[in-house]
Amino acid sequence: MNTALAKEELAQILDQAVQDVTERTAGVRLQQGEQSPAGDLCTVQITFDKGFHTSLTLCADTGLLYRMACNSFHEESVSPEDLEEFSKEYFNVLCGRIAGAMFRATQVPAHFGPPVFYHGRYEPEGREIQFVLTYCDEHCGGGAQLIHHVPCSHEDGTVASEG
């Protein structure tokens, strides 16, 4: 993703996917905002291992993910295990949507590994942030950030090799 499209075009694809998938799967409308999520956070991360050498991380307020899971499951409460399962499945659907949009834009097929769930904020090793999209729900009752990571560059301008 880091060389196939201009950063602005990629950001637009990611933003559209986040808003569409979140509303359709979880009944929550997100809008871009300025306030970074803080406090009790969860992170879901994937790495594209074919097609693009990037990764995506979703860091969100646990309360927002909890509300999204409850909406998706049509339940008033969910267990911590259900929250983790929902978060991984939601992010899998989101990344599938992104991979499809990226293919339409670049004709490069992509593959990503299974989503990994973390309590707290997680930063993948050997990667640096290219850009961050920050969201709040329509009632600003929770926030999330979708972070696009690229392999770390060395000082001489070369990119770290993929392991």
pLDDT over 90 percentage in the chain: 70
Taking 70 as the threshold, does the pLDDT of residue 127 lie above it? yes
Question: Residues 143-148: what's their mean pLDDT?
Answer: 95
Number of Cβ within a 10 Å radius of residue 2: 16
Provide CB contacts within 8 A for 66, sequence distance 6+. Answer: 78, 83
Taking 90 as the threshold, does the pLDDT of residue 112 lie above it? yes
For residue range 77-106, list pLDDT tens digits in order: 999 999 999 999 999 999 999 999 999 988
Taking 50 as the threshold, does the pLDDT of residue 159 lie above it? no
The band of 154, judged by pLDDT with boundaries at 50, 70 and 90, is low
Q: How far is CA 33 from the centre of its chain?
A: 16
Judge contact between 49 and 113, C-beta under 8 A. yes
Residue-level pLDDT at 38: 82
Question: Residues 126-137: what's their mean pLDDT?
Answer: 93
Residue-level pLDDT at 117: 98
Question: Residues 27-37: what's their mean pLDDT?
Answer: 89
CA distance 31 to 65: 15
Strands (E) in 33-163, as ranges, are 41-50, 55-61, 111-112, 116-119, 127-137, 143-151
Taking 60 as the threshold, does the pLDDT of residue 49 lie above it? yes
CA distance 23 to 124: 27
Residue-level pLDDT at 162: 41
Select from 41, 47, 60 the least CA-distant residue to 2. 47
Residue-level pLDDT at 155: 53
